[in-house]
Amino acid sequence: MQLPSINFFKRITHRLSIYLALITLILLSGISVHAQDQDITMTRIATNLNNPRGVAVLPDGRLLVVEAGTGFEPDGQISLLDDLNEDGDYDDEGDRTILQSGLPSYNSLTRFFTGHDEVFGLSDILIIDNTQIFFAKDDPFATPAHSGEEGFYGDTGVFYFQLGESEAIELAHSEATINSIVYDSDTKTFYLAESGRNRLGAVTFDGEIRTVVNLPFMAHDQQPVPSGLALDPTTGDVLIALFTGFNHDYYETDLGFQPGDAKIVRVNPETSELTDEIVGLTTAIDVAIDEMGNIFVVELATGWPTVFMPTDFPLDDPDAPPDSGGYPRFSGRVTMYPQEGDPLILADQIDTPTNITVGDGVVYISTGLGTPGRSIIGPAGVIPIVGEIFKITLPNP
Which pLDDT tens digit goes with each residue over 87-140? 999 999 999 999 999 999 999 999 988 889 999 999 999 999 999 999 999 998
pLDDT tens profile 272-281: 999 999 999 9
Q: Flag whether 68 is in a domain.
A: yes
Residue 6 has pLDDT above 90, yes or no: no
- Confidence class for position 58, pLDDT limits 50, 70, 90: very high
Local confidence band at 144 (pLDDT 50, 70, 90 cut-offs): low
| pLDDT for the residue numbered 177 | 93
Mean local confidence (pLDDT), 51-73: 96
**Average of per-residue pLDDT across 289-307:** 92
**Residue type at 338 in one-letter notation:** P
Q: Which of 96, 158, 82 lies closest to 123 in space, CA to CA?
A: 158
CATH of the domain at 184: 2.120.10
pLDDT number for residue 290: 95
Instruction: Indicate if the pLDDT at residue 8 is higher than 80.
Output: no
State the pLDDT at residue 7: 38
Q: How confident is the model at residue 395 (pLDDT cuts 50, 70, 90)?
A: confident
Percent of the chain with pLDDT over 70: 84
**The pLDDT value given to residue 397:** 63
Q: What is the average pLDDT across 300-327?
A: 92
What pLDDT shows up at residue 294?
A: 95
Q: How many domains does the chain have?
A: 1
The residue range of the domain holding 285 is 55-328
For residue range 328-381, what is the model confidence (pLDDT) as tens digits? 999 999 999 999 899 999 999 999 999 999 988 899 999 999 999 999 999 999
What pLDDT does 24 receive? 39
Residue 316 lies in a domain: yes
Please give the mean pLDDT across all residues of the chain.
Answer: 87
- Given a cut of 70, whether residue 152 has pLDDT beyond it is no
pLDDT at 249: 58
| Domain contains 231 | yes
211 domain-assigned:
yes
In-domain check, residue 281 = yes
> How far is the C-alpha of 324 from the C-alpha of 215, rounded, in Å?
30
Q: Is pLDDT of 23 > 50? A: no
Please check the confidence at residue 147 and state whether its pLDDT lies above 80: no
Is residue 296 one of the residues assigned to a domain? Answer: yes
pLDDT at 28: 38
- Which of 4-18, 133-147, 160-174 is most confident? 160-174
Tens-place pLDDT, residues 252-268: 556 666 777 899 999 99
What is the reported pLDDT for 259? 76
Q: Does some domain include residue 49?
A: no
pLDDT tens for 225-254 read 999 999 999 999 999 999 986 555 554 556
Burial of 166 (0-12, 13-18, 19+ CB in 10 A): exposed
Range of lowest pLDDT (11-15, 163-167, 338-342): 11-15
pLDDT level of residue 158 (50, 70, 90 thresholds): very high
Domain-embedded: residue 340: no
Q: Which long-range contacts (CB under 8 A, 24 or more apart) does 99-103 make?
A: 99/64, 99/133, 99/161, 99/163, 99/166, 100/135, 100/161, 100/166, 100/168, 101/75, 101/76, 101/77, 102/74, 102/75, 102/76, 102/77, 103/69, 103/74, 103/75, 103/76, 103/77, 103/78, 103/137
What is the pLDDT at residue 125? 98
Q: What is the pLDDT of residue 1?
A: 32
Q: Return the minimum-mean-pLDDT range out of 1-5, 21-25, 93-97, 126-130.
A: 1-5
The pLDDT value given to residue 323: 96
